[in-house]
Structure 1
Amino acid sequence: MRRVLQAAERAGAGAVAGINGLSRRVELPGGGGPALGPDRPTSGVCGDPIRVAGREFVTRARQIIAADNLRLELVGVGGVTQADHVMEYLQAGADIVQTATGFMWRPNLGIDFQRLWASSEYSVQRADGRGGRG
């Protein structure tokens, strides 16, 4: 990951995102075989099942960005389906948090986050010392 982040900065990237989906076997209930048909035993899985992997990426990438003093913003993505998930990504070190699947299930997710942020004493204090409220 260190080499990729360093190469991204050298190439002029302003930000990086780690995952958007993970390839997994997706099968019909009861051992019914591949859900997308025999020619597609795997599929890109997104949403809630990949949030832990997304946060782990952000945590590790933030450590490398800080240690190497890279000028990269970090996008947290993967499984953001509730306002609390945005906070989790910010705490893990994301500068920006993206959601896609979350809006399919919760069209008011952005409003929910704004309300949570405004009503809380929440602050983001990351390992690299950056943080604060608002």
Structure 2
Amino acid sequence: MTETSPAGKKSEEWRALLPAESFAVLFREATEPPGSSPLNHEKGAGTFVCAACHLPLFESATKYESGTGWPSFFAPIEGSVGTKRDFRMILPRTEYHCARCAGHQGHVFPDGPQPTGKRYCNNGVALLFVPEGEPLPER
């Protein structure tokens, strides 16, 4: 496949830059097994960025324990994600992706905590955590 992402990289370029599991989730819309991500237990202050292009997606203050087995957030950083309807599970869901590279992150559901009432259920392999005070990675 030679499709080009909005970030200007071809599929083969992303494949060369990313671990196989991250590439499968980000650019083939796979899902990692629940409970498999070390980011489920990340409680430090910082920023969660797209594992592909490193766009900041979530602040740690919006992360919460949803009990689903995937890192969950109640709000993304403004302008950082795009959405589309997903019918892969027959019932429609809202898929969200990185606004820069279009890498698949997860799905958003209407059962999260206030103030938004939303649960952004994210694949851990689609994210990197950058502790507060450390520079964001470049890509």
| Category of TM-score, reference length = shorter chain | under 0.3
Greater Cα radius of gyration, structure 1 or 2: 1
Structure with bigger strand share is 2
Structure with bigger helix share is 1
Query: Which structure is richer in relative contact order (CA contacts within 8 A, separation 6 or more)?
Result: 2
Q: Compute the TM-score of the two structures, normalised by the length of structure 1.
A: 0.25
Q: Compute the TM-score of the two structures, normalised by the length of structure 2.
A: 0.24
